Structure 1
Amino acid sequence: MADLMVKGVIFDLDGTLVTSSLDFALIKAQVGCDRDADLLEYVESLPSPYMREEAMALIHQHEMQDAQHAEPIPGVAETLSFLKSIGMPLAIVTRNYSKAARLKLERCRLELDLMLTREDALPKPDPQALHMVADSWSLPYQQCVYVGDYKYDIEAARRASMHACLFAPVELPDYAEQADIIIERFTDLPAALGLHHRAQTGQLVG
């Protein structure tokens, strides 16, 4: 994968950088959302501001509770440290609530250059947030990669004209073939992107 020439890496948060035990089936049942529907789209479609506010308050409650138990995914700390050492710009794009997302980063002692949540841009799989990150770096979209563990992440990357990297530590989902890159261990990411070779040959980012 050394020919990708990636110059910016964007990550999903839950299930990619940090653990999450959000029970979406329970949340959907509590707000009246169909099991197969998109939760955020459902809330947005509710007929009154009061109903939307009540549903979102319940979602926030679940997200904050989940954040209090988040742990870093194995291999994340050392991988981020390596990427920073070669000058790679790093960001997070998450569908999460900003307050919960910040708490997760604090608990897990992770620091990245930039984080966009659903309060900053349209939620994935819309590519808006990914484009905002790349634009802030003044990088072509094709030189960025989005790393995530779910189909929305792959779809968002494709719609953003970025490389799609699927993190699949347990088993390959049926949508895995849509990804450009697949890693089973987080520490495999630099090699999968050709970045170890770039560091060894002095081709640092910038």
Structure 2
Amino acid sequence: MLQLNAQVCSYSSTMIQQKIKGIIFDLDGTLVSSELDFQLIRAQVGCPREQDLLEFIAQLPSPYMRQEAMNIVHQHEMLDAQNAQLLPGVSHCLKRLSDMQIPMAIVTRNFSRAAKLKIEQCNVPISLVLTRDDAPAKPDPSGLLDIAKQWQLSPPHCMYVGDYLYDIQAAHNAKMRSCLYVPEDMPHFASESHHIIRNFDELPELVKAFT
């Protein structure tokens, strides 16, 4: 069941009629599994529950404190990467999109070593990858816009697929389509996404509908 959420399209009704010519993916929870315990990480670095973890670390008062906090995050990310698995339906979906000659990329909030390990371990056939080491972390749109520029595509012709609010926000900030992957319970922010897919078999069909 793929969905188009009309209530979020008032500012982009023209954009949503554009062809989908390129797809950018989130990594964790979208293409590969992730068991990161953000509550534990926040407790270990002293980050309040309501504050973004990366923003909190960036605002710590000394380089030493920032490095120590980031080392903790890196340890958790590397451990998570070692246990990552490709999510159901992803392999077949990516092959279909490749057969359709749709360029694909990944923009992730992971740091580069963890992202590289996950992609290699799970045999994700996408070579164009930007991490938070390459561009400001989502919901900043810089990484998404960089990909569109490399593809020589206007942002409205690109779609960002992810599983979290930051992914929707990054897509909107980049003036791209947003597609939320929701395999289980529908989150409260789902209505903010242009499209919703419940499994990856739906994604090529969504692309076909806009090509």
Q: TM-score higher than 0.5 here?
A: yes
Q: CA contact under 8 A between 1:4 and 1:194: conserved in structure 2? A: no
In the other structure, the counterpart of 2:167 is 153
2:195 to 173, 176, 181: 181
How far is the alpha carbon of 1:68 from its aligned partner?
A: 0.4
State the AA in 2 paired with 1:101.
Answer: A
Counterpart mapping for 1:8-23 below 5 A: 8-23=22-37
State the AA in 1 paired with 2:33.
Answer: T
2:204 to 155, 167, 190: 190
Counterpart mapping for 1:14-163 below 5 A: 14-163=28-177
How far is the alpha carbon of 1:20 from its aligned partner?
A: 0.1
Distance (Å, rounded) in 1 between the aligned partners of 2:127 and 2:100: 14
Distance (Å, rounded) in 2 between the aligned partners of 1:69 and 1:157: 28
Q: CA contact under 8 A between 1:71 and 1:108: conserved in structure 2? A: yes
Specify which structure has the bigger relative contact order, considering alpha-carbon pairs within 8 angstroms and separated by 6 or more residues.
2
State the AA in 1 paired with 2:114.
Answer: A
Distance (Å, rounded) in 1 between the aligned partners of 2:43 and 2:84: 23
Q: CA contact under 8 A between 1:16 and 1:167: conserved in structure 2? A: yes
TM-score by length of 2: 0.90
Q: CA contact under 8 A between 1:91 and 1:113: conserved in structure 2? A: yes
Aligned-residue Cα RMSD (Å) equals: 1.4
Distance (Å, rounded) in 1 between the aligned partners of 2:127 and 2:201: 20
Deviations 1:159-198 (A, max 9, x none): 0000000000001111111101000001211112226x85
Q: CA contact under 8 A between 1:90 and 1:114: conserved in structure 2? A: yes
How far is the alpha carbon of 1:36 from its aligned partner?
A: 1.1
How far is the alpha carbon of 1:85 from its aligned partner?
A: 1.1
Which stretches in structure 2 are left out of the alignment for 5+ residues?
5-15
